[in-house]
Every structure is written in structure tokens, then in C-alpha cells.
Structure 1
Amino acid sequence: MSSRKAVVSGSSGRHADPHAAKEALYAKGVTLKEFAEKNGFKYRTVSEVVRGVNKGLYGEGHKVAVALRIK
């Protein structure tokens, strides 16, 4: 049986989870609102992806997850 592990930030540039992506943004001094405006996303969608409400499986949520390097 194979088990899937989340990729740790740094090994391939991806974040292990949405919370790690949020922390990485804040470490750079970028707020969620600034990230949303800079990348052309709605703040609400970015917030939902980071909080795990929007899983980022398709649509704008997926684009946000890709931009945040979650997917």
C-alpha cells in the first residue's frame, strides 16, 4: 500500500497545505488582499482557498491554489 505525503515547502517549491502558503505570504510581507489584487483574483476566493473552505479543485479556486503553489 502506498501512502501519499504532502510535499514540504522548499523541496520542490510547493507548500504542504494552505496554511503554509499563507505563512509564506506573510513572511514575505504580503497580505492576502495584496496577493489577490496583484494576481487578478477575488480576495474572497483567495481567503477561502487559504482557509480550506474552497479546496481549489476547479475554476478560480484552482487557479488560486496553483498561484499559491498548493497544487
Structure 2
Amino acid sequence: MQAKKSGQAEALKTPEEAKRDLQSKGITLSEFAKKKGFKYRTVSEVVRGVNKGLYGEGHRVAVALGIK
């Protein structure tokens, strides 16, 4: 868990939770990628767990999804 600047802890999501969260909002992975300026392939790989989001665009995607 990472701490917010206010001192409160925020729970991180699993890739599956992030995917379900987008689906519940009616947002496709493609729409999310376009809106945030990411490549669809990278977003898909992060959500599927293929890309662990350790660095680069994968990490930026993971942060945007609340995984990291």
C-alpha cells in the first residue's frame, strides 16, 4: 500500500480489479488507452499481467490504473 500525502493509506488494485473497474464504468481498454495517451497493447498487457509495470510506459499505465 502507498500512503497519500495526507497520511491516509490507499489500497492498490490488482490487474483484474482495474479491468473490472473500467468495465463497470463502461470504459473499454482502447478508450482508456486513447484518453490517457497510452498504446492499447501496453494497457492490455498490464491488465493481463503480461507486463508487470516495473518501468517505462507499463509503469505509467499501472499507476494510472491504480495498480502501482
Q: Same fold (TM over 0.5)?
A: yes
Alignment identity in percent?
A: 68
RMSD (CA atoms)? 1.7
Q: If each structure's strand is expressed as a fraction of its own residues, which one has the higher value? A: 2
5+ residue gaps, structure 2, are 3-8
Q: How many residues align?
A: 62
Equivalents in 1 of 2:11, 2:39: separation in Å?
24
- Which residue of structure 2 lines up, in the alignment, with residue 32 of structure 1? 29
Which of structure 1's runs of 4+ aligned residues deviate more than 4 A?
none
5+ residue gaps, structure 1, are 1-5
Q: Deviation per CA, 1:18-70, whole angstroms, max 9, x where unpaired?
A: 01000000000000000000000000000000000000000000000000000
Give me the TM-score of the superposition, normalised by structure 2.
0.84
- Which residue of structure 2 lines up, in the alignment, with residue 14 of structure 1? 12
Give me the TM-score of the superposition, normalised by structure 1.
0.81
